[in-house]
Structure 1
């Protein structure tokens, strides 16, 4: 049996120092030392003022002693945990971001040119032909990522510039982009703002690009044994708005030009990001809105994607997209980003916007990304 190792004397000195620092903000009922070898300090009690008003001050005081505060509910009391770490952001190399962005421009130009000409070799020599697709996709993705970026900066969360992922041998020319947060968020309000800002900002550009693309595209008979893009509710409504009819229907569908394809890709990517699980944008929104109850979305999402996969297989239009996502969610979908102060709930305005953001998921999600004409 391992022997109990008492905490070093300086740890108890830190307890006294932190108790003095929080005396005007937090009434301490009792104090415990969690994991003595790591030095986690836990103060149980209650705040004298709303945590949202106190936390910034609390964090500055803790960081002066080499700690970061974390707040959770613990039964009828509040648990204030002093984590023996201070999050210091590292300098990011913007040159890497720029190189990846230029490479993504080239890869989306190539995919757009191939879509326009149907000839790989010709497209490689005439990349400029893919400009409408590349411009549309990158405008949507850039708006999405900088929505996250500026929301993070607004809440003083250290964050890197976006990393774009080029993928010329793919349907979209890119695997999207991501930013890397270099520190935790203070509360659920920051978590929601950062999570929702991306997809909502991208949608602001995706919808006009889609409508313009549809308005300049042709409709006609669907060739036999061909495949066409799947519908989301918003895409279906967009075609109804532009053409005055449900498409595909009666053997007729729209032949998307590059701008319309870019808008469709924007909606598709937004739908993926808004899946309400794990570290995805939708997972951030769900946790900000429902707290720990957000984990209830995990199995419905897994089972829903499984049902779509089975349905597509029975229809003879099997697409492995959702199998891959089921695999990824199975490993990563249970873990949510938790803010340091996990007590304060969303204010009414953010709560309404959070429900709207989750509703957007149902509008833009594409259950069957590709369908066959038969």
Structure 2
């Protein structure tokens, strides 16, 4: 038992380091010196600490309801990712026994995204208020840089707090708290995708029961339209179809149902998903001058019918 706890703690510590150093680790453009690693630590630790807290709260939002209902669950497994702009693949807990009914499934499923949503919104709002707007020189070459995309929520709150901002000529020097909030919102949105055993899959299955199997595949086809906007969602479509699965495994109904409060709470979280969903999460600098495949198809259609 102690060895299992050691694994959870070790993954937590490793994830802290990958969050802190993902921008510098094996990056040929940054000298791998002790001084640079010290500078990166002091610059990034607010991002690492706050995002770890968001991830921990998300998993506790699953773990505590599971224990409340007597469902065995593991401690969170944090997933370090030493390369890339984010530094983690999130965290998971493992449910060790059958969930008794859909009401319990709903409470376990929605607790995680509800907790991470609240903390991510707070981190984002505080972080973006501490961020700076910088002007981009006309001859600046963006091609070697990565940019975070916007959801409806991040775009309008940025314009409200820092704006008006013309993102074609300006950029935001994001505070580490803003980055943690952005990543937390992205992870929350991905978990709220309403398929299989993702959190959103638990919620939507609990709300609509077995009838949802009649239309969930059509919803998945609609979701795959976003693969035409950004390749990220093609990868997620593959993971959902082959690993997570589109349909949720059978869980029996609760004797009293899930109740109106849970239904409306679930509906509000699914609407929230639409507000925090990021169509293009990571944008290459070269993509600013390129259109997406969806826009190319739309342009071709409008030209064909004489609307362009």
TM range (shorter): 0.7 to 0.9
In structure 2, stretches of 5+ residues that fail to align are 290-308
TM (norm. structure 2) is: 0.81
Structure that is richer in strand per residue: 1
Q: 1:282 to 1:91 in 2, by over 3 A?
A: farther
2:267 matched to 1:355?
yes
Is contact 2:109–2:200 with CA below 8 Å preserved after alignment? yes
Aligned positions of 1:278-289 closer than 5 A: 278-289=196-207
In structure 1, stretches of 5+ residues that fail to align are 1-89, 313-318
1:261 Cα deviation (Å)? 1.1
Equivalent residue in structure 2 for 1:190, among 92, 104, 108: 104
Deviates more, 1:212-221 or 1:121-130: 121-130
- Cα distance in 2, alignment partners of residues 233 and 104 from structure 1: 29
Q: Which residue of 2 aligns with 1:163?
A: 77
Q: Secondary structure at 2:82's aligned position in 1?
A: coil
Q: Which residue of 2 aligns with 1:241?
A: 160
**How big is each residue's C-alpha offset from its partner over 1:117-169, in whole Å with a ceiling of 9 and x where there is no partner?**
x7362444555222011012111111101111111111111111000011111
Is contact 1:268–1:365 with CA below 8 Å preserved after alignment? yes
Equivalent residue in structure 1 for 2:278, among 349, 366, 369: 366
Q: Which residue of 2 aligns with 1:255?
A: 173
Is contact 2:151–2:275 with CA below 8 Å preserved after alignment? yes
Is contact 2:151–2:277 with CA below 8 Å preserved after alignment? yes
TM (norm. structure 1) is: 0.67
1:303 Cα deviation (Å)? 3.4
- Cα distance in 1, alignment partners of residues 6 and 226 from structure 2: 41
Q: Which residue of 2 aligns with 1:335?
A: 247
Aligned positions of 1:1-374 closer than 5 A: 93-111=4-22, 119=30, 121-122=32-33, 123-124=36-37, 126-129=39-42, 130-222=44-136, 223-226=140-143, 227-245=146-164, 247-249=165-167, 251-295=169-213, 296-305=215-224, 307-310=225-228, 312=229, 319-331=230-242, 332-341=244-253, 344-371=256-283, 372-374=287-289
Is contact 1:216–1:257 with CA below 8 Å preserved after alignment? yes
Q: 1:235 to 1:112 in 2, by over 3 A?
A: same
1:244 Cα deviation (Å)? 3.8
1:203 Cα deviation (Å)? 1.2
Q: Secondary structure at 2:22's aligned position in 1?
A: helix
Larger radius of gyration: 1
Q: Which residue of 2 aligns with 1:5?
A: none
Q: Secondary structure at 2:116's aligned position in 1?
A: helix
Greater relative contact order (CA < 8 Å, ≥ 6 in sequence):
2
Aligned residues: 273
Q: Secondary structure at 1:144's aligned position in 2?
A: helix
Q: Secondary structure at 1:93's aligned position in 2?
A: helix
Q: Secondary structure at 1:373's aligned position in 2?
A: helix
RMSD: 2.3
Q: 1:221 to 1:277 in 2, by over 3 A?
A: same
Structure that is richer in helix per residue: 2
Q: 1:238 to 1:250 in 2, by over 3 A?
A: same
Q: Secondary structure at 2:94's aligned position in 1?
A: coil
- Cα distance in 2, alignment partners of residues 162 and 92 from structure 1: 14
Is contact 2:216–2:246 with CA below 8 Å preserved after alignment? no
